[in-house]
Amino acid sequence: MSRILLISILTFVGLVAGAQVRLPKLISDGMVLQRDTELRIWGWASNGEKVAIKFNGRNLKTTTGNDGKWSIRFPSMKAGGPYAMEIVAKNRLLLNNIMIGDVWFCSGQSNMVHTLELHKERYASDIAAADYPDIRHFTVPATGVLQEPQEDITGGKWLIANPRDVLQFSVVGYFFAKDIYEKYKVPIGLINASVGGTPIEAWISENGLKDFASYARTIQRNRDTAYVNELSRRAASVKPRPEQDKGITGLIPWFDPTYMPIGWRSINIPGYWEDQGIRDLDGIVWYRKEIDIPASMTEDTVKVYLGRIVDADVVYINGVRIANTTYQYPQRRYIAPAGLLKPGKNIITVRVTNYSGKGGFVPDKPYRLSSKSKVIDLKGEWQYKVGDVFPPCTPSGRAALSIQNQPAALYNGMTSPLINFPIKGFLWYQGESNTSRAEEYARLLPALISDWRWQWKIPAAPFLYVQLPNFMEANYLPSESQWAELRESQLKTLSVPNTGMVVAIDLGEWNDIHPGNKKDIGLRLALAARRIAYGDSHIVYSGPIFRTIALQGNKLVVEFDHVGSGLVTNDGEDPRQFAIAGSDGKFTWAKTRIEGSKVILWTEEIPEPKFVRYAWADNPDGVNLYNKEGLPASPFRANIESQK
């Protein structure tokens, strides 16, 4: 009898649990709903369950279908709030602090991911002043799914722009939202679904990729769980290489204060070790420096600035491990607690692991110890010793599948669950992962735009995106560039209606794929939104964009759109970074001058020029062509034949 009673109780509990109405993660406290459009609230409950919602003076009801799904549509509403929403079925849910305003879907890779927490020193005053209860941010957890589009995301919550929670906001998204809010006083919601290092095809649905045969085949292959599981098993079968770092395995670790450094050599920080007498070393290199610390610094916490390190690092002070970072991109800003440093001699030891390319400390970054009382420069001569040398990598065919990089995988896991949630438009910052396939990107970016507009059923939704900034070493001769080709593909996408492109060719950093100035990116996106999404026809929202090219005698005449109040250079000199070529295609720098909305190009070396390139490089040095509103011209290339 007791067993029967227990089974009955468990069955009853299961039925009650199954009857609980459930909402998507996005529909929760603090959300922003899109104004001036039909609103859809949806969820799950038991089959045939009655669901009622009270919201903003309306009371609507429905009944779940046989699949347990339910959906209620509210008529469009004006901006306002805060409101409460009550959902009543066999249980009752109450959502609070709901705003109605404009919702922007932010997506892309790491430059859209980057939060104010990662840039809190640069934007300290903006963070401290963040008091905008009508600006909200929702981060979608990174989730790739190979098989089918998902119905819900795995987590997340709405955060409000205050000095604590704004640290989790996308930097680009926050400054965009702040500018739009201050102009229109409408609540702004940001949904940030972005994953660092991911290609554009991962964000497009299977239907959106139907015209790309190779991706369609890959999607079908990835649905074969046996194939995916076999890759995982092969990867798991590879035995990790035993620890061979002499800095760890010796009798005394090299970070220990009692260790006596014998046979260490001199090296400079910052700098890569391949540029300082070490050839093609992938492995582990230890850096060591003795510094004198005044007594006043030992009483405070000390900030340790170690720039950027390629690839991973572990930092010790006086034998105590204070921090580590596992990959190259974050800037190293660590804390040494009060009492760790001592008056007089102190030892800083850094274990650097490099997997490929040049290893070491990236130039043009901060390297110092900083306290309230003193700053000590860490640049200059250190000592180094190699702890381990990694054998050359050989393809093994045993790599596990990177799900987040597979076509449609991020759409399935992070975008598809959100398409019932009405939005105002899209913000897109991506392209770095596709620079080797620029020609294909010229088709993929329009495909993404078309796909998302179709999925959300907003055929003219504003789509605003960021052109790749300048990055990597400058080249002072005209040259080829994959990054320039990718920018060209982004420029071509302006032919898609209701799109806007932010030119960022002046906002990058040669040594950082994550440039620190993301505020201006957000503000330029806001300019584009004010014109394209909010209809402010008086806004100059773009820098000069190539329009036409013509040959006049021995000169090329390039005319631009979006010149605003006129073409200028930001330094008063003639425009730079224009290269021209004759029929042989050999480019040389051109002489230049501005005439109205045109730039005149010539060189005595080329009597009949046919081709032009502007800022055609990974990192074009000294771009200076702007409109008077302060927005830079987009890189481009053109030829006379294309104008016929």
One domain, residues 555 and 612: yes
One domain, residues 269 and 359: yes
Q: Residue 236 — very low, low, confident or very high, per pLDDT cuts 50/70/90?
A: confident
pLDDT, tens digit, 9 for 90 and up, residues 306-359: 999 999 999 999 999 999 999 998 889 999 999 999 999 999 999 999 999 999
pLDDT at 471 over 70: yes
For residue 2, the model assigns a pLDDT of 52
For the residues 213-228, what does the mean pLDDT come to? 94
Q: Residue 11 — very low, low, confident or very high, per pLDDT cuts 50/70/90?
A: very low
- Roughly what angle, to the nearest 10 degrees, separates helices 171-184 and 519-532? 40
Give the CATH number, domain containing residue 484: 3.40.50.1110
Place of tokens 């080709």: 485
One domain, residues 214 and 344: no
Give the CATH number, domain containing residue 260: 2.60.120.260
One domain, residues 561 and 485: no
In a domain, 444, yes or no: yes
pLDDT, tens digit, 9 for 90 and up, residues 34-85: 999 999 999 999 999 999 999 999 999 999 999 999 999 999 999 999 999 9
Bridge-based pairing of strands 380-389 and 283-293 is: antiparallel
311 preceded by cis ω (within 30°)?
A: yes
For the residues 15-31, what does the mean pLDDT come to? 82
- Report whether 153 contacts 23 (CB < 8 A): no
For residue 373, the model assigns a pLDDT of 86
Q: In what order do the strands lie in the sheet with 591-595?
A: 545-552, 555-561, 598-602, 591-595
**pTM beyond 0.75, yes or no:** yes
Q: Dihedral of CA 293/296/300/302: which sign?
A: negative
In a domain, 231, yes or no: yes
For residue 6, the model assigns a pLDDT of 47
One domain, residues 634 and 621: yes
pLDDT, tens digit, 9 for 90 and up, residues 89-104: 999 999 999 999 999 9
For residue 644, the model assigns a pLDDT of 60
- What is the CB-side half-sphere exposure of residue 92 using CA atoms within 13 A? 4
Whole-number average pLDDT of the chain: 94
One domain, residues 465 and 481: yes
Domain that holds residue 494: 100-238+404-542
pLDDT at 112 over 90: yes
One domain, residues 538 and 551: no
Domain endpoint, select from 366, 389, 412: 389
Q: Residue 14 — very low, low, confident or very high, per pLDDT cuts 50/70/90?
A: very low
For residue 394, the model assigns a pLDDT of 52
For the residues 483-491, what does the mean pLDDT come to? 98
pLDDT at 398 over 70: no
pLDDT, tens digit, 9 for 90 and up, residues 548-574: 999 999 999 999 999 999 999 999 999
Please name the residue ranges forming H helices in 457-549: 482-492, 519-532
Domain endpoint, select from 542, 571, 600: 542
Backbone angles phi, psi at 22, to 5 degrees: -130, 140
One domain, residues 463 and 450: yes
Domain endpoint, select from 389, 419, 448: 389
Q: CB atoms < 10 A from the CB of 169, how many?
A: 27
pLDDT, tens digit, 9 for 90 and up, residues 181-192: 999 999 999 999
Q: Residues, the chain, total?
A: 644
